[in-house]
């Protein structure tokens, strides 16, 4: 009896999921059921897909939207886990927050050139990669909405491993790449100025990052829990590192701070257990426990110059002209070293011989008898007469 009851509840649940496949027509919700191939066709005349209209429509694999649609509202396709691709009509100008959140099979999206606004995390948790998305022309370097793009495009997109961002981008928005656990590398444009809150937090596969000259601020928890990040070399333009910016980066070994850094927030590098000694610019203010539980701590002052790397020609005016001088210095140094070694060896040998003969002389003196023989003993020893026959 209980099993039948549970099956009934399950059936009601599935029925409610199917009932959420709908669209708004003249303000009236119209239900629709996907065909045998999982396809849904929305008729012409529909102007928007309302909030949660297709929420949890798990049987929908594809959908055709009419050109009359101009708006996709927040959470419109929330949880449509079977949806493989989406093509938005040319008249769509707005996509709401979390519009496609939880569409875990979504691997392709075509966005119209007239798209102007996109809510935060609109494609949260999808399988989109850079090659799977056609970027709208409205999101070029002159667009006032450009800085909003990372909020909807990348957050938690598990398909990303390597990314190249376009020129013109000035800010990575809050949570732009958060939890992109497969992201290994990223190329940032020279126009970038701000890395905002949680921008790369939880990118556990990120090996390195090259921040362009011009970046001024590292936001709160921007690189928190980037467990594969080995080193960070901040450009000279950075002046602020905010709270928990590099908190708990387990493999971070080195951090080079520019002379212009004036503020490092609380817990900025805390729990970076492998982090070596960090040189903090004079006058820079430090927040609470900024370098607690690191391998080397910190000191105020400039770091010593790094040794030249093999094949590194930077800073050398004329290598060929200096080579002979370097060779001569090496020969002179070697000769001096050999001479010193020979002199020291000779001195040590002489000292050992002197000590040896001194000890032999002492032993000889100790072995001589202390009592002198008498005259009688001398005669008995040396004047023995032969007896007559």
CATH code of the domain covering residue 262: 3.80.10.10
Dump pLDDT digits (tens) for 286-338.
Answer: 999 999 999 999 999 887 776 665 555 544 444 444 455 556 666 667 777 77
In a domain, 145, yes or no: yes
Residue 224: name the closest of 161, 175, 280 by CA: 175
Please indicate, yes or no, whether residues 234 and 130 belong to a single structural domain of this protein. no
Q: DSSP character for 352?
A: H
Residue 72: name the closest of 39, 118, 125, 103 by CA: 118
Please indicate, yes or no, whether residues 194 and 142 belong to a single structural domain of this protein. no
pLDDT of residue 289: 96
What's phi and psi for 137, nearest 5 deg?
-65, -25
In a domain, 196, yes or no: yes
In a domain, 358, yes or no: no
Whether the pLDDT of residue 154 is over 70: the answer is no
Q: Which residues pair with 241 in a beta bridge?
A: 218, 264
Residues 242/269, Cβ–Cβ less than 8 Å: no
Please indicate, yes or no, whether residues 143 and 166 belong to a single structural domain of this protein. no
What's phi and psi for 287, nearest 5 deg?
-80, 170
Work out the mean pLDDT of the chain and round it to a whole number: 78
In a domain, 141, yes or no: yes
Please indicate, yes or no, whether residues 122 and 227 belong to a single structural domain of this protein. no
Query: Does the pTM of the predicted model rise above 0.85?
Result: no
Average pLDDT over residues 214-219: 94
pLDDT of residue 306: 61
Please indicate, yes or no, whether residues 62 and 134 belong to a single structural domain of this protein. yes
Q: Cα-atom radius of gyration of the chain, to the nearest Å?
A: 41
Residues 253/226, Cβ–Cβ less than 8 Å: no
Please indicate, yes or no, whether residues 232 and 297 belong to a single structural domain of this protein. yes
d(CA 355, CA 205): 68
Q: Label residue 125 by pLDDT band (50, 70, 90).
A: confident
Chosen domain end from 159, 192, 207: 159
Please indicate, yes or no, whether residues 131 and 73 belong to a single structural domain of this protein. yes
Residue 88: name the closest of 117, 51, 115, 120 by CA: 115
Whether the pLDDT of residue 3 is over 80: the answer is no
Please indicate, yes or no, whether residues 134 and 248 belong to a single structural domain of this protein. no
Please indicate, yes or no, whether residues 214 and 280 belong to a single structural domain of this protein. yes
pLDDT of residue 148: 45
d(CA 269, CA 249): 8
In a domain, 226, yes or no: yes
In which domain, by residue range, is 73 found? 38-159
| Sequence-distant (≥ 6) Cβ neighbours of residue 263 within 8 angstroms | 239, 240, 241, 284, 285, 287
Please indicate, yes or no, whether residues 116 and 171 belong to a single structural domain of this protein. no
Q: Label residue 343 by pLDDT band (50, 70, 90).
A: confident
Cα 278-292-231 angle, rounded to 5 deg: 40
Dump pLDDT digits (tens) for 232-290.
Answer: 999 999 999 999 999 999 999 999 999 999 999 999 999 999 999 999 999 999 999 99
d(CA 258, CA 238): 7
In a domain, 279, yes or no: yes
Dump pLDDT digits (tens) for 67-114.
Answer: 999 999 999 999 999 999 999 999 998 888 889 988 989 888 888 888
Please indicate, yes or no, whether residues 167 and 285 belong to a single structural domain of this protein. yes
Please indicate, yes or no, whether residues 291 and 222 belong to a single structural domain of this protein. yes
Chosen domain end from 123, 144, 159: 159
d(CA 377, CA 63): 137
Number of domains composing the chain: 2
Chosen domain end from 273, 303, 333: 303
| 137 vs 39, residue with greater confidence | 39
d(CA 192, CA 49): 34
């Amino acid at each position: 009896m209980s099993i039948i009851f549970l099956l009934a509840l399950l059936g009601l649940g599935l029925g409610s999921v199917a009932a959420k496949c709908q669209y708004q027509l003249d303000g009236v919700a119209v239900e629709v059921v996907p065909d045998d191939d999982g396809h849904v066709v929305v008729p012409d005349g529909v102007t928007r897909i309302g909030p949660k209209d297709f929420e949890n429509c798990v049987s929908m694999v594809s959908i055709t939207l009419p050109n009359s649609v101009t708006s996709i509202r927040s959470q419109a396709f929330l949880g449509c886990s079977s949806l493989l691709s989406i093509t938005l009509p040319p008249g769509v100008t707005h996509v709401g927050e979390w519009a496609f959140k939880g569409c875990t099979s979504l691997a392709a999206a075509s966005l119209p050139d007239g798209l102007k606004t996109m809510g935060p995390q609109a494609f949260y948790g999808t399988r989109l990669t850079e090659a799977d998305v056609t970027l709208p022309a409205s999101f070029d370097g002159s667009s006032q909405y450009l800085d909003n793009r990372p909020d909807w495009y990348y957050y938690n997109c598990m398909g990303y491993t390597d990314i190249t961002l376009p020129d013109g981008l000035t800010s990575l928005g809050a949570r732009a790449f958060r939890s992109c656990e497969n992201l290994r590398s990223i190329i940032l444009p020279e126009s970038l100025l701000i890395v905002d809150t949680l921008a790369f937090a939880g990118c556990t596969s990120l090996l390195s990052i090259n921040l362009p000259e011009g970046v001024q601020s590292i936001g709160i928890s921007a690189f928190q829990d980037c467990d594969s990040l080995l080193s960070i070399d901040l450009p000279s333009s950075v002046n602020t590192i905010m709270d928990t910016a590099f908190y708990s980066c387990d493999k971070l070994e080195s951090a080079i701070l520019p002379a212009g850094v004036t503020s490092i927030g609380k817990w900025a590098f805390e729990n970076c257990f492998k982090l070596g000694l960090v040189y903090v610019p004079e006058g820079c203010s430090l927040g609470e426990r900024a370098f607690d539980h690191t391998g080397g701590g910190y000191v105020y002052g400039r770091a010593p110059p790094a040794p030249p790397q093999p094949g590194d020609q930077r800073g050398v005016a004329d290598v060929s002209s200096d080579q002979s001088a370097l060779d001569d210095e090496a020969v002179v140094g070697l000769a001096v070293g050999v001479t010193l070694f020979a002199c020291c060896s000779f001195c040590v040998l002489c000292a050992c011989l002197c000590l040896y003969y001194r000890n032999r002389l002492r032993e000889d003196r100790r072995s001589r008898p202390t009592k002198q023989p008498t005259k009688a003993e001398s005669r008995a020893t040396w004047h023995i007469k032969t007896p007559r026959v």
